[in-house]
Amino acid sequence: MLVGPPGMLKTTIIRQALSPYPSALSLSDLNINSLMSIRESLIAGRYSTIAFGEFEKLYARRADTAANIEGVIKQLIEEGFTRASFEEQDCITTTARTLVIGAMTYNFYSNRITGWRESGFKRRFIWSGIKLKDPLKLMEAIRKWELIDIDGIPRRYTAKPIPFDVTEDESKKLEKLIRGQWEPTVYVLLKKIFAVLKWKHKDAKHAMNLVESFCESTRGDLAEVEI
């Protein structure tokens, strides 16, 4: 989850990062009916990631409806979503799971975090706080009418499963990086991120440096993003 003040390109970062991947589904909103329409695609692996550019949009409705969607998202991340409450509970079904990514303003986050901690929602995500190092660059780009390239990250694709190649020593280093978010799911996610970076760059030290840089945004202060 990306957290930061408005206008910090959080939604743009998510869209740019996921744009090359057809298995990533970007949504502006979600309710139980729309979720049911994509459940089979989630089960079949057609979509492996769901992204919300404006996560607070899910809460712009009745509180009980928003709480229901929040509960389903919790299920999708860990134990899996099996059936909706209005379905026959003894019918044959299977479980849908997916990665969930979202962006939200800091004010929305601060108003919700206590409830999320109590409900267990908080522990299922890595929370990354960011802000632009120089917000005036946005105004400068508008004045010059120039696009800002915020991607430019070389990607490596594979048709085979990426090996989970993380040693015990590397795991201990990762443990130290998640202080403040010491949760099993966060630890698992970070180890998977590291394994992918290690495979991508074929350099364990460089992969660890990238994770360390990212974790500057997970320790309470907003990390600066330079564009």
Q: What is the CATH number of the domain that holds 77?
A: 3.40.50
Of the chain, the percentage scoring pLDDT greater than 90 comes to: 52
pLDDT band at 30 (very low <50, low <70, confident <90, very high): confident
Domain assignment present for residue 139? The answer is no
Q: Is the pTM of this model over 0.75?
A: yes
Domain assignment present for residue 136? The answer is no
| pLDDT over 60 (residue 34) | yes
Do residues 129 and 79 lie in contact, with contact meaning Cβ atoms separated by under 8 Å? no
pLDDT band at 52 (very low <50, low <70, confident <90, very high): very high
Mean pLDDT of 94-119: 92
Judge if 165 and 64 occupy the same domain: no
For all residues of the chain together, what is the average pLDDT? 88
Judge if 112 and 214 occupy the same domain: no
Judge if 4 and 111 occupy the same domain: yes
Judge if 113 and 61 occupy the same domain: yes
Domain assignment present for residue 69? The answer is yes
Domains of the chain: total: 2
Q: Which of 204, 125, 211 is nearest to 167 (CA)?
A: 204
Q: Pick from 96, 112, 130: which residue ends a domain?
A: 130
| pLDDT over 70 (residue 188) | yes
Do residues 124 and 98 lie in contact, with contact meaning Cβ atoms separated by under 8 Å? no
> What domain range is 68 assigned to?
1-130
